[in-house]
Amino acid sequence: MALPVNWKILLIDDDEDIRDIMSITLKDAGYSVICAPDGHTGLMLAAREEPQIVITDIKMPGMSGLEVLEKIKKIKPETEVIVTTGFGDIKKAVKALQYDASDFISKPVDDAALHMALKRARQRYIDKKQLSDYTALLERDLKTMEQEVSNQAKLLHREKMVSLGRLAASMVHEINNPLSGILNYIRLMIRISGKDNNLKSNLTLEKRQDQANKFNSYLEIIESETQRCSDLVSGLLKFSRKTNLEQKSIDVTDLIQHSLLLCNHKLELSNIVLNVRCNPDVLPVFGDFNQLEQCIINLIFNAIDAMENGGNLKIETGFNPEEKHVFISIKDNGKGISKEDLNFIFEPFFTTKSEGYGVGLGLSSAYGIVEKHKGTIVVESRLDHGSEFIIKLPPEKKEF
């Protein structure tokens, strides 16, 4: 009988006749057999030959079969051990099972009982080997997945930092303009407050009131412009942070306005005419404000890049009663996307941009964010006619 696997058996017994008889039986059955006359020799052969199965007598001079079992299991736990025992050693045989022996056979050994014990031992060995291999595979895959997740997170953050760098560069003038205005109004206020008290005392009551009104109006402008700068800086800081997913109710109009706060000057510098139509009656969505903002900014930046010589950008929000979802549409009249590229735009690292304008994770990141929010993102595009990206999100409330 040919076995499908080259099974190697170590037979340990101090009785030479038993070793000879069992060896013939095992070899006839297709096993490769190694024999040892005692426990010490058996352990040495087990370490050198690495058999899958060991058959050992319990009662032997020097080292007993139980000691052999215990030591083999410490050296190679996957080795299956079958013990042979006389009628008076049944208690020891039961103890052997407690030590993880696969089976025991009473002497004199019956061929049928021997082959049945070997069949069980083979199956145990195969099952444990498969489990061990599967566990090792899982551990290896888990480490690989953890590394991939870590690398992906770093790359996504890098893509976000590229966007942030472009935002910051475009906002230098956006912040500088109100700061220049603030400085000018402060100078005017210093003049109004008057360094020359004598000149001030000669002013009529009407003139003083007029100056006081100007003073207050300048203060209001300074407050407004300072708040504008503060909002821009806060927006940049919030956008740049690595934040944990923070689920909350989100007003879609606020989301669009806050995203545009960080993009308006870039749009102006790129000669983009912006048309925004936010439906005030749209139900709020539930999710992470910062991540959805990142998604929208990525789409706006893509639209800007698609309109190299300026163009029109339309942003619209609303609710689709048939499909029961909130939508955010970002539509440009730029160069569009070819049919060939359209199938790959959401894949990581795919980009049609020149080097230095990202790593091809902007749309992939946007797709992942929307998917994480149980939504979908679709695109309609024609080459040289522009593109429309539509984010579809479930509303927070389910009552329609």
CB within 8 Å of 359: residues ≥ 6 apart: 155, 158, 159, 162, 349, 351
Instruction: Give mean pLDDT, residues 335-359.
Output: 65
pLDDT attached to residue 337: 85
How far, in Å, CA of 94 to CA of 351, rounded? Answer: 68
Give the residue, 167 or 31, on which the prediction is more confident.
31
pLDDT attached to residue 1: 46
Q: Could you give the percent of the chain with pLDDT greater than 70?
A: 77
Give the residue, 200 or 72, on which the prediction is more confident.
72
Closest CA to 306 of 387, 239, 366: 387
User: pTM value?
Assistant: 0.45
Could you tell me the two tokens for 385?
A: 């006619």
Instruction: Give mean pLDDT, residues 155-165.
Output: 59
CB environment 11-30: b (16+ within 10 A), e (fewer): bbbeeeebbeebbeebeebe
Residue 365 in this model has a pLDDT that exceeds 90: no
What is the CA angle 76-78-82, rounded to 5?
Answer: 95
How far, in Å, CA of 342 to CA of 245, rounded? Answer: 30
pLDDT attached to residue 53: 92
Residue 195 in this model has a pLDDT that exceeds 60: no
Could you tell me the two tokens for 261?
A: 């706060």
CA within 13 Å, CB half, 244: 0
Give the residue, 197 or 145, on which the prediction is more confident.
145
CB of 311 closer than 8 Å to CB of 351: no
pLDDT attached to residue 392: 95
Band of residue 146 on the pLDDT scale cut at 50, 70, 90: low
DSSP letter string, 70-110: HHHHHH-TT-EEEEEE-GGGHHHHHHHHHTT-SEEEESSPP
Band of residue 101 on the pLDDT scale cut at 50, 70, 90: confident
How far, in Å, CA of 263 to CA of 102, rounded? Answer: 71
pLDDT attached to residue 247: 84
pLDDT attached to residue 390: 94
Band of residue 355 on the pLDDT scale cut at 50, 70, 90: very low
Band of residue 366 on the pLDDT scale cut at 50, 70, 90: confident
Give the residue, 147 or 199, on which the prediction is more confident.
147
Closest CA to 35 of 20, 57, 50, 48: 20
pLDDT single digits (tens) 201-257 = 566 677 777 777 878 888 887 887 787 677 667 666 665 555 555 788 999 999 999
CB of 360 closer than 8 Å to CB of 156: no
Q: What is the DSSP letter of 59?
A: S
pLDDT single digits (tens) 35-59 = 999 999 999 999 999 999 999 988 8
CB of 201 closer than 8 Å to CB of 172: no
Residue 196 in this model has a pLDDT that exceeds 50: no
pLDDT attached to residue 375: 93
Residue 399 in this model has a pLDDT that exceeds 60: no
Instruction: Give mean pLDDT, residues 13-40.
Output: 91
Mean pLDDT of the chain: 80
Residue 86 in this model has a pLDDT that exceeds 80: no
Instruction: Give mean pLDDT, residues 30-39.
Output: 92
Helix (H, G, I), strand (E, B) or coil at 34: strand
pLDDT attached to residue 358: 47
